[in-house]
Amino acid sequence: MRKGIFSLFFGLLLLITYQTGLHAQSPQLLFESANKDYLEGRYDSAIEKYQQILDRDFISGEVHFNLGNAYYKKNAFGRAILHYERAKRFLGNDEALERNLKLARIHIVDKIEPVPQLFLIEWWHFLLNMISIEAYAWLGVAVFFVFSLFVALEILYRGYFKKMIWTTGMIFIFVLIVFLSNVYISESTAYGIIIDQNVSIVSEPAEEGNELFILHEGTKVLIERVSGEWYEIRLADGKTGWLKSGSLEII
C-alpha cells in the first residue's frame, strides 16, 4: 500500500516537474520548437507555442508572421490576415510578409473597392507605411546623432559645416514628423479583422437593428465607435454599420 502511494506521489511529482519545465521554456526555445512543428506539419502545435510566446508579452513581428503562416496552412484565413497585419506594425512592408498577405487576401469573399484619394494623401500613407514605427524611431536617432556631430564640428571649425547642419536638421525634423504621425495614427485609429465566417452588419447597436449587408472572414474594417459589446465599423468603400465585438479581432 505504502509502495503504491509512493509510486503515485512520485509519478505526480514527475508530471508537475515536466509541466513546469514546459512552461519555463524560454521564448527563444518555444520559438524554435514552434518553427520545427511548423516545418514538420504540426500546425496546431506550432500555433499553440507561438501563442504562448505572445501571451508572455514577448511581442515580435516574426512571431506574428509565423503564426499567420501556421493559420494559413490551417485555412484559417481570417486569423492569418490578422497576424500578418499585426506583423506589419513591426516589419513594415517586408517583401515576404506582403506576398503572404496578398495570398491570404485572395481567399476573402468580400472584394471592397476603396474610395479614391488625392495623390498627396496616397503618397503620405505610403510614406507612413514604408517602414515600421520602430524603424522610423531608429532612423530619427541616427539622423539626430549625425546632426549633433556636425554641430560639434561647427563649434570647433566655424563656417565649414553650416550646410550639413541645416540639411541634417531638416531631415531630422521630417523623420520626426513622420514618426509622430505614425504614432498618432496608431494610437488614435483601430482596425479589426472579421474572424467569423460571416456576420450581419446592422443599422444600430441592437439585435433588432436592420441588416445592412453581410461581411465575411478576413475583411479589414475601421472601428469608429464602441457601444457596449457593439462596434461601429467603416469599410474602405465608405459603408458603415454595427456588429458584435466578438465577430472581429483588433489588429
Quick: pLDDT tens for 30-75. Answer: 999 999 999 999 999 999 999 999 999 888 899 999 999 999 999 9
Count of Cβ atoms closer than 10 Å to residue 194 Cβ:
26
Q: Which three cell numbers stand for residue 148?
A: 549633433
Tell which wins on pLDDT, 116 or 203: 203
In the predicted model, is pLDDT for residue 11 greater than 70? no
Residue 79 has pLDDT above 60, yes or no: yes
pLDDT at 132 over 80: no
Of 62, 82, 79, 71, nearest in space to 44 by CA: 71
Residue 114, pLDDT > 90, answer no
**Cα 183 to Cα 178: distance, rounded to the nearest angstrom:** 9
198 DSSP β-pair partners: 216
Could you state, in order of their start, the residue ranges of all structural domains in the chain?
2-105, 119-188, 190-250
Assign a CATH topology to domain 190-250.
Answer: SH3 type barrels. (2.30.30)
- Fold (CATH) for 2-105: 1.25.40
pTM for the whole structure = 0.67
